[in-house]
Amino acid sequence: MTAPETIAKGRRALARGVLLYAALTALDGTVVWYIVSSGVRGIGYVSLTLVSAFGLLLLAQLVSHARDLRGDSVQTEGEILRKWQRAELFIAWPSYFIQIQRSIFRITPQDYILLQEGQHVTVSHFRHTNNVLELGPAGAAPAIPGGP
């Protein structure tokens, strides 16, 4: 079972995500309103479409974070099918991922080093965002703290 302090830490990270995505969604809505109020013509429809689509993606992230903020954590157990890393924010921010069943989880660099493909693990996470709370060997309570 996930420790209450670990869940509280995860909820704080979700709350920060809610605030960030709410601010970005509001900013995007302001840009959409400006484009529409300026009178959309010609190539303006392309801008309106792109900015609106980006806003919908931000809104989906906001809803996922808000749902997890109120929801319970869940556990996924299985074999690590794949592990990989990629750079986010161009090349300045490396991120590490594992795939268990059909779910993708972002993990810490320390966990990435310790885990191997084919290893059976249990991941305690939030249901909609897959933010990792704890990570450990299968059959035991997760013991390796992880985080978003």
Domain boundary among 70, 98, 115: 70
Query: In terms of pTM, does the model score above 0.85?
Result: no
- Give the total number of structural domains in the chain: 2
- Sort 5 into a burial class: Cβ within 10 Å, 0-12 / 13-18 / 19+: exposed
What is the per-residue pLDDT for 148? 46
CATH of the domain at 77: 2.40.50
What is residue 136's predicted lDDT score, i.e. its pLDDT? 86
**In 3-state terms, what secondary structure has residue 123?**
strand
Whether 90 and 141 map to the same domain: the answer is yes
pLDDT at 142: 53
Query: Of 141, 109, 139, 112, whose CA–CA distance to 124 is shortest?
Result: 141
Nearest to 136 by CA among 89, 71, 75: 75
Give the closest residue to 63 by CA, choosing from 31, 26, 17, 103.
Answer: 17
E strands present in the chain: 73-88, 93-100, 103-107, 120-126, 132-137, 144-145
**46 and 107, same domain (yes or no):** no
The residue from 15, 42, 70 where one domain ends is 70
The pLDDT score that the predictor gives to residue 140 is 59
* Cβ neighbourhood burial of 133 (10 Å; 0-12, 13-18, 19+): buried
Q: Which of 70, 103, 118 is the last residue of a domain?
A: 70
pLDDT tens across the length of the chain (148 residues): 567 888 899 999 999 999 999 999 999 999 999 999 998 888 889 999 999 999 999 999 999 999 999 989 999 999 999 999 998 766 678 889 999 999 999 999 999 999 999 999 999 999 999 999 999 887 655 555 554 4
CA dihedral 11, 14, 19, 25 (to 10 degrees): -150
Residue 134 is part of which domain span? 73-145
Question: What pLDDT shows up at residue 83?
Answer: 94
Task: Measure CA of the first residue to CA of the last residue in the chain; give whole Å.
Answer: 19
Residue 44 sits in the same domain as residue 102: no
**Residue 93: its pLDDT value, please?**
81
Residues 135 and 79 in one domain: yes
Which helix (DSSP H) or strand (DSSP E) does residue 147 occupy? none
Do residues 78 and 101 both lie within one domain? Answer: yes
One domain for residues 77 and 51: no
**Tokens standing for 148?**
């978003």
In terms of domains, do 89 and 138 share one? yes
